[in-house]
Structure 1
Amino acid sequence: MVDAEDLDVAKPLRRTVLSKYSLIIDYIRNLSEEEKIKTGQKLPSVRLLADKFQCSTLTAVRAYKELEQEHFIYSVPKSGYYLVSKHEKKEDLSKSSIYFSTVLPDIRVFSYDEIHHCLNQVMERDRMQLFSYGEIRGLSSLIETLMRHLQDYQIFCKSNQIVVTSGVQQAVNILANLQFPNGKNTILMENPTYDRMIKNLQLYSARTIGINRDFNGIDLGALEKIFREEDIKCFYMVPRFHDPTGGTYSMDQKKEILRLAQKYDVYILEDDYFPDLDTNTRNDPIYSLDNTNRVIYLKTFSKILLPDLRIAAVVLPEILIPQFLKYKQCTDIRTSVLRQGALDLYISNGMFKRSVTRLRNIYKDRMDYLKDICSSFDSEILDVNIPDTGFFLSMRSSKPIDYDIMLSKFKKDDIIIKDIRESYLQKNQAVDLLKISICKTDNSQIKEGILKIYNYFLNQRTLPAKRSKDYVT
């Protein structure tokens, strides 16, 4: 738990109940920091921890497993868990800096050995296929596996509708160049949005306009006005765990967006890159609501597994498939057969499901910990929006942020923050948003970094700034 003296504010923290899992992790870290347990000394048994925290032994084992994956402790079969030396901890955990900037997977919680095993198995099993370019549409066995796998996300489609690409950006590149049945030419994007997608479309001279989005979503009245008055070919959107706000649309919002798209003949590009981490089993994608074949579903496997995997699946309306494959043959060519085979094996043997279940629990616990830390923050100084799970959250300042000064200050404090100014379509736009990623931070780093960030804005207190308009070109 966080103490009031950690903040430059007199207001006491609201005490919330952390998960027993997080409390155990903090307890073991405190034993080490206070040197109540020495290097190489045996840690409390699983049964002792379960009794102390009134939880199951499975919860205690899970806490120990995360600390082991972080190289904070190590296990000895039939003996127990022991504290790693301080020298090793500093090297392995890279404690010198707190990285709130990256959305790359945390190698400490990633099942590298399982992916490595799958790659080796494919090398042995499919060696002849590795000497060919493979099929334009993608490896047939992977497509069949993906068709079944996507049903877990309520995506029901035919196998011929699925095309494997070298990432979502490559799929959107192709879609931006296709002539859609509505004959329109402008791509609508959320503002802010994923910065690389903006650069990607600008590089290919695609005409784009934006609609403002915050943690709670978009102005649906403004959306209808844009659909009615502009030449909107498609709407590129990230319905859940939006980058950079971290927000997720409600089902009512999704239904209304789809209704408006149908009314004004607009296609939807649904970039659903993190369905695996969602704890809400009823939070279905927009694709599942569509009965008019105007939602194009995009799902990457790089973010949740390995960035270098470079594999995404796109589910297309049948009318767009011939055009899409024609463009893919010239631009994306054929996605790596080795990587496709490894992903096929990783999903079909159950490794993927086990891995994402573990990750979902880890990141949910980190978000719960964040909610406890931020519970006493004054929202007029820093309005914090924390999702139930996912990789990042957003903070909104009461005034536009001078990013150059802020980044310089945080760098001196060994806090690395993402500069999200490039996540906006308009250059030189006043930005009051801060994106915080918890991909590679443990609880002690989260606490230290978040409190320093809040205290920075506490010292910058001014009158609230005016919000920008809902429609940017």
Structure 2
Amino acid sequence: MKKYHSILSDLEYKIMDGKYNPGQKLPSVRTAAELYGCSVSTIVRAYAELEKRHEIYSIPQSGFFVVEKQEDWRHNTDCETIDFASASPDLNVFPYLDFQHCLNKAIDRYKYQLFTYGDPQGLKSLRQTLVSHLAGDQVFTKAEQIIITSGIQHALEILAEMPFPNRKRAVMVEQPSYDLYLRFLEAKGIPVSGIARTATGVDLRELEEKFKSGAIKFFYTMSRYQNPLGTSYRAEERKAIADLAGKYDVYVVEDDYMADLGAERRFDPIYAYNRTSHVIYLKSFSKIIFPGLRLGAAVMPERLLETFYAYKRNYDTSLLSQAALEVYIKNGMYERHKHKICSRYAERIRAVNEAVNRYNEAGLIEVSRVDSGVYMQFKLPRTVNMERLLKRLAARKVSVVSGKPFYLTDYLEREKFLRISISRAQPEQIDEGVKAIVEEVKRGSRW
């Protein structure tokens, strides 16, 4: 990240996090330049951008001050409830002003072109921009192999229903896995089977046996920050999955929806180890910007493109949204916002881990080892009554989600756990929330 973007993100984060309070004077331009080890012109540029975003204001010969903002709809939530349930991004970090600027730029740049049906594959300039954007995640592809979809869910539904060159029909999913997709597969009557994935990973020998004999069309997996476990596959697991896919002619649908929330300096997805074009890579933009954008990208092997187009059937993605996303990425705003949200979420994950260490002395709860992303698994003793636990936590205004919906209906080897999401959990509430969970689990284990 460029020095300017890093400084701008840090200043904006400190304002949003209350380190610089409304009405407070910011460090002088020279003082800030010394603090950040940069030129005065870089600070002047950062302050000017913050002023344009109405985050700060200037008083001639006095300096720069933080704007006193009136309460708005973003804060009109139930502040008493400790929200460990919601999977949506934090409302207070949505990049409203940035994206509004990008929408205006997109209209100026493309004008009438945006109000036609366009290319069902997606806006060509966006796909070209995504070639270099995806390369940062070790996904090297051509614009012709990228298809823009109305969110990742849409791409997953198409893949489930379309035929594959291997002429197999069954879909294999991790257990537990993305609940909405499991319900879709069951509702459509698509043959589906599961393989256990725990906080320690997946049994590769069992995976190979299923690939060899299960008539599997594709294996749906989240290699990074899996929902609901929050864990990631080790490098050797990712490489092994790619190798097995080529060996047994089974496709892998890699849902890397959390790619941008990674703290690791290097994380090569399964796609990066793929040498036989058996991996379909899916990327979402909703976890970084906002869910309502409804844009995802699918990187498809060439042999699947024509069939995917046929099943996609319509022009379902807003060209205006696509054009605005292109501007957002090209202007460096996406990278800057990514840095901001990653830092914020990492702090919350750290707060959860610290609270667990503080209150879970008896070790009743097994917590997945996670330091980035959004989700964590709190594995519970078998003796705990889940329904009663949820009710007691709700009475204490702690909102959590049971792990039960993340399994196929007929899958029997289930772990009993809570999925903890930190995206809407306010930092000052995390300690209290974790304490309440530990207390109620301890109480529940004696029922």
> Which segment drifts farther, 353-362 or 256-265?
256-265
Aligned residue among 400, 405, 409 for 1:422: 405
**Residue type of the alignment partner of 1:296:** I
Verify: 1:154 aligned to 2:151, yes or no. Answer: no
Verify: 1:120 aligned to 2:112, yes or no. Answer: no
**Residue type of the alignment partner of 2:321:** R
Q: Whole-Å Cα distance in 1 between the matches of residues 36 and 185 of structure 2?
A: 47
Number of aligned residues:
409
Structure 1 residues 57, 371: CA separation in 2 closer, same or farther (over 3 Å shift)? farther
Match in the other structure for 1:163: 147
Aligned residue among 100, 105, 109 for 2:84: 100
Q: Shift in Å at residue 174 of structure 1?
A: 1.4
Q: Secondary structure at the match of 1:375?
A: helix
Q: CA RMSD in A?
A: 3.2
Is the 1:239–1:249 contact (alpha carbons within 8 Å) kept by the matching residues of 2?
A: yes
Q: Secondary structure at the match of 2:246?
A: helix
Aligned residue among 121, 128, 143 for 1:137: 121
Structure 1 residues 352, 90: CA separation in 2 closer, same or farther (over 3 Å shift)? closer
Match in the other structure for 1:371: 353
Match in the other structure for 1:408: 391
Structure 1 residues 79, 181: CA separation in 2 closer, same or farther (over 3 Å shift)? closer
Q: Secondary structure at the match of 2:424?
A: coil
Q: Secondary structure at the match of 1:189?
A: strand
Q: Whole-Å Cα distance in 1 between the matches of residues 337 and 127 of structure 2?
A: 21
Is the 2:384–2:441 contact (alpha carbons within 8 Å) kept by the matching residues of 1?
A: no
Is the 1:103–1:437 contact (alpha carbons within 8 Å) kept by the matching residues of 2?
A: yes
Aligned residue among 287, 298, 302 for 1:314: 298
Match in the other structure for 2:338: 356
- Unaligned 5+ runs, structure 1: 1-20, 30-38, 51-55, 60-68, 464-473
Aligned residue among 271, 277, 289 for 2:273: 289
Q: Whole-Å Cα distance in 1 between the matches of residues 245 and 439 of structure 2?
A: 43
Q: Shift in Å at residue 83 of structure 1?
A: 9.2
Match in the other structure for 1:204: 188
Task: Encode CA deviations 1:108-165: one digit per residue, 9 max, x unaligned.
Answer: 1222111122122223432312331111111111110111110110111111111111
Task: Encode CA deviations 1:20-46: one digit per residue, 9 max, x unaligned.
Answer: x9xx99x989xxxxxxxxx98969x87
Q: Shift in Å at residue 431 of structure 1?
A: 4.5
Verify: 1:389 aligned to 2:372, yes or no. Answer: yes
Structure 1 residues 401, 236: CA separation in 2 closer, same or farther (over 3 Å shift)? farther
Task: Encode CA deviations 1:206-237: one digit per residue, 9 max, x unaligned.
Answer: 11101111122111122122122211111000
- Mapping 1:221-260, distance limit 5 Å: 221-260=205-244
- Mapping 1:267-286, distance limit 5 Å: 267-286=251-270
**Residue type of the alignment partner of 1:373:** A
Q: Whole-Å Cα distance in 2 between the matches of residues 80 and 375 of structure 1?
A: 39
Q: Secondary structure at the match of 1:370?
A: helix
Q: Shift in Å at residue 402 of structure 1?
A: 3.0
Structure 1 residues 82, 356: CA separation in 2 closer, same or farther (over 3 Å shift)? closer
Structure 1 residues 449, 84: CA separation in 2 closer, same or farther (over 3 Å shift)? farther
**Residue type of the alignment partner of 1:384:** V
Q: Secondary structure at the match of 1:127?
A: helix
Is the 1:134–1:334 contact (alpha carbons within 8 Å) kept by the matching residues of 2?
A: no
Is the 1:401–1:431 contact (alpha carbons within 8 Å) kept by the matching residues of 2?
A: no
TM-score of the two chains, using structure 2 as the length reference: 0.83
Task: Encode CA deviations 1:182-203: one digit per residue, 9 max, x unaligned.
Answer: 1111100001111111122223
Q: Whole-Å Cα distance in 2 between the matches of residues 350 and 28 of structure 1?
A: 25
Aligned residue among 289, 294, 313 for 1:305: 289
Q: Secondary structure at the match of 2:263?
A: coil
Is the 2:179–2:405 contact (alpha carbons within 8 Å) kept by the matching residues of 1?
A: yes
Aligned residue among 406, 430, 438 for 1:446: 430
Is the 2:23–2:65 contact (alpha carbons within 8 Å) kept by the matching residues of 1?
A: no
- Unaligned 5+ runs, structure 2: 1-10, 38-49
Structure 1 residues 334, 41: CA separation in 2 closer, same or farther (over 3 Å shift)? closer
**Residue type of the alignment partner of 2:445:** R
**What percentage of residue pairs aligned between the two structures are identical?**
33
**Residue type of the alignment partner of 1:289:** Y
- Mapping 1:23-102, distance limit 5 Å: 77=58, 78=63, 92=76, 94-102=78-86
Q: Shift in Å at residue 382 of structure 1?
A: 0.4
Structure 1 residues 243, 138: CA separation in 2 closer, same or farther (over 3 Å shift)? same
Is the 2:281–2:300 contact (alpha carbons within 8 Å) kept by the matching residues of 1?
A: yes
Q: Secondary structure at the match of 1:175?
A: helix
**Residue type of the alignment partner of 1:132:** T
Match in the other structure for 1:342: 324
Is the 2:245–2:252 contact (alpha carbons within 8 Å) kept by the matching residues of 1?
A: yes
Structure 1 residues 378, 427: CA separation in 2 closer, same or farther (over 3 Å shift)? farther
Q: Whole-Å Cα distance in 2 between the matches of residues 304 and 83 of structure 1?
A: 26
Verify: 1:192 aligned to 2:176, yes or no. Answer: yes
**Residue type of the alignment partner of 2:366:** D
Task: Encode CA deviations 1:302-349: one digit per residue, 9 max, x unaligned.
Answer: 2221111111110111011111111112xx533111111111111111
Q: Whole-Å Cα distance in 1 between the matches of residues 114 and 232 of structure 2?
A: 40
Is the 1:182–1:265 contact (alpha carbons within 8 Å) kept by the matching residues of 2?
A: yes
Structure 1 residues 79, 159: CA separation in 2 closer, same or farther (over 3 Å shift)? closer
Q: Whole-Å Cα distance in 2 between the matches of residues 301 and 462 of structure 1?
A: 44
Q: Whole-Å Cα distance in 2 between the matches of residues 290 and 224 of structure 1?
A: 16
